[in-house]
Amino acid sequence: MKENSFVSTDLIRSAFSAAMSAMYRTEVPAYGTLMELVGKVNAETLAADPDLRAWLEDTDSLERLSEERHGAIRLGTPAELSMMRRVFAVMGMLPVGYYDLSTAGVPVHSTAFRPVGDAALKKNPFRVFTSLLRLDLIADEALRDEAEQILSKRQIFTDGAIALTEKAEKQGGLDKADAERFVAEVLETFRWHDKANVSPDMYHRLHDAHRLIADVVSFKGPHINHLTPRTLDIDAVQARMPDYKIAPKATIEGPPTRKCAILLRQTSFKALEEPVSFQAADGSWQEGSHTARFGEIEQRGVALTPKGRALYDALLNASRKVVRPAADGSNATEYEKALSDAFIPFPDSWAGIRAEGLGYFVYSLTAKGRKAKADVSKSLDSLIADGLVQFDPIVYEDFLPVSAAGIFQSNLGDDAAQEFVASPNQQRFEQDLGAKVLNEFDHYAGIEQASIADVRQMLSLAQAAE
């Protein structure tokens, strides 16, 4: 088969993201309501801020916004994780980052599958936060063995999804008909099942060990547990959720409200209690319920350098020493105040963030720079000072472990908070994944460096043409 008859991985990813969104909208109608509210707030924000609109247009980021979302799944076994990696690769999604959530009382470690590189991200930045259950953190050995047994018997991928993934790997891509079938087959893995895989008794034992263990082990597959649209004003969406009969979690995770958004701010609405039936030993089905699926929104800001990230972590920790956000929202106002006070030392202008080396930026020539014959030996700072070069923040495309833990907790209920010994094990995770995860900092630094090289090349071409 000729290579040019293959559908691009970007198109497969876009089709998959759209199919997943349509499925989740019918499964969880509140998600549709949230999408509507986010669409409205984004449109209002753009109408009120023509500069923001122009900037998003200039940086080619307006179009991706309405299509943008991330989802999350929780897997049970190393084999599921490594197959999932192969499936996502067909859509141009690679594992980026390692998140250890054991420190936060959640027995999983995770990565995010997402497109890498500026062009792919602009086409469609769909991401899936993917966690692997860590049975090694469960104290009850007998239960651990039983959970392992149950998981070893399930197959979360359809035969078609496996066959098409192998075909894509062998051929180097999929043609249009295969790509369409691939999307439909893979979607099955993410579907909700209202018939559990386990007896009511087993469900309760798993649930007592940790609600998350019950969520992973009791079902035929890793149902998508949320899909998150991106908003331009998370404070506005949070404030208006009650008007839409959606009760948000008490506080927004991540940095405080700022003029120059950094990293990622997220909030969610509580998971729904949904009817599920369990098969008893005598074969009869018994009605019960399970709480897993929820809604979330996020606002994304500039990606931080290791130095910026260290400052972010230190300030977040400092704020939590003053006030720890209570799950019931009783100290939400105090928490918000402590958070914004703690973040005063973090510069709140793009120039300030850049000057202190806290964030990543892309550089480009200004209109003046395109016309001028600049001295290419000049430093980047003086080219900027001369008005020849401009810089724009690079959007943070990844996740934050403390925020993720807050989202997990708010959906699992307070009783789920449990102490685990902090035990990050990236090596084990990568062994199970069958690949190394990409380092997100290297990725942003690469985009920044490439833009600087481009600017310098254009300036020297202009000089040579003199």
The residues that touch Ni ion, with contacts defined as CB under 5 A, are 228, 296
- 404 contacts which partner out of ligand OOG, Ni ion, none, CB within 5 to 8 A by kind? ligand OOG
CB closer to ligand OOG out of 300 and 354:
300
Rounded CA-CA distance 266/407 in Å is 8
CB closer to ligand OOG out of 80 and 296:
296
Measured from the Cβ of residue 221, the count of other Cβ atoms closer than 10 Å reads 21
Q: Does 403 bind ligand OOG (CB under 6 A)?
A: yes
| Among positions 9, 77, 102, 131, the unique one binding ligand OOG when judged by CB under 6 A | 131
Rounded CA-CA distance 147/219 in Å is 11
Sorted by sequence, the CB contacts under 8 Å of residue 79 that are 6+ apart come out as: none
CB closer to ligand OOG out of 404 and 455:
404
Q: How far is the CB of 99 from ligand OOG (least distance, A)?
A: 8
CB closer to ligand OOG out of 7 and 28:
28
Question: Per CB under 6 A, which region of 139-147, 325-333, 400-408, 433-441 contacts ligand OOG?
Answer: 400-408
Q: How far is the CB of 266 from ligand OOG (least distance, A)?
A: 6
- 448 contacts which partner out of ligand OOG, Ni ion, none, CB within 5 to 8 A by kind? none
Q: Is the dihedral of CA 297, 303, 305, 311 positive or negative?
A: negative
Q: Does 218 bind ligand OOG (CB under 6 A)?
A: no
Closest residue to ligand OOG, judged by C-beta, is 404
Measured from the Cβ of residue 321, the count of other Cβ atoms closer than 10 Å reads 9
Q: How far is the CB of 142 from ligand OOG (least distance, A)?
A: 26
Question: Per CB under 6 A, which region of 195-203, 357-365, 399-407, 434-442 contacts ligand OOG?
Answer: 399-407
**Under rule CB under 6 A, which residues in 404-433 are in contact with ligand OOG?**
404, 407-408
Q: How far is the CB of 228 from Ni ion (least distance, A)?
A: 5
Q: How far is the CB of 293 from ligand OOG (least distance, A)?
A: 10
CB closer to Ni ion out of 165 and 251:
251
- 403 contacts which partner out of ligand OOG, Ni ion, none, CB within 5 to 8 A by kind? ligand OOG
Question: Per CB under 6 A, which region of 143-151, 359-367, 369-377, 402-410 contacts ligand OOG?
Answer: 402-410
Q: Does 266 bind ligand OOG (CB under 6 A)?
A: yes
List the structure tokens of 104. 């936060």
Q: How far is the CB of 87 from ligand OOG (least distance, A)?
A: 18
CB closer to Ni ion out of 316 and 358:
316
Rounded CA-CA distance 447/453 in Å is 10
CB closer to ligand OOG out of 106 and 342:
106
| Among positions 129, 312, 343, 444, the unique one binding ligand OOG when judged by CB under 6 A | 129
Q: How far is the CB of 41 from ligand OOG (least distance, A)?
A: 19
**Under rule CB under 6 A, which residues in 68-107 are in contact with ligand OOG?**
72, 74
Question: Per CB under 6 A, which region of 46-54, 150-158, 396-404, 444-452 contacts ligand OOG?
Answer: 396-404
Within 13 A of 129's CA, how many CA atoms are on the CB side?
24
Q: How far is the CB of 164 from ligand OOG (least distance, A)?
A: 26
**3-class secondary structure per residue, the chain:** CCHHHCCCHHHHHHHHHHHHHHHHHHHCHHHHHHHHHHHHHHHHHHHHCHHHHHHHHHCCCHHHHHHCEEEEEEECCHHHHHHHHHHHHHCCCEEEEEEECHHHCCCEEEEEEECCCHHHHHHCCCEEEEEEECHHHCCCHHHHHHHHHHHHHCCCCCHHHHHHHHHHHHHCCCCHHHHHHHHHHHHHHHCCCCECCCCHHHHHHHHHHCHHHHHHHCCCCCCCCEEEEECCCHHHHHHHHHHHCCCECCCCECCCCCCCCECEEEEEECCCEEEEEEECCCCCEEEEEEECCCEEEEEECECECHHHHHHHHHHHHHHHHHCCCCCCCCCHHHHHHHHHHHCCCCCCCHHHHHHCCCECEEEEECHHHHHCCCCCCCCHHHHHHCCCEEEEECECCCCCHHHHHHHHHHHHCHHHCCCCCCCCCHHHHHHHHCCCCECHHHHHHHHHHHHHHHHHHHHHHHHHCC
- 212 contacts which partner out of Ni ion, ligand OOG, none, CB within 5 to 8 A by kind? none
CB closer to ligand OOG out of 113 and 408:
408
- 410 contacts which partner out of ligand OOG, Ni ion, none, CB within 5 to 8 A by kind? none
CB closer to Ni ion out of 228 and 231:
228
**Under rule CB under 6 A, which residues in 280-299 are in contact with ligand OOG?**
296
DSSP-assigned beta bridge partners for residue 273: 291
Residues that bind ligand OOG (CB under 6 A): 72, 74, 129, 131, 225, 266, 296, 399, 403-404, 407-408
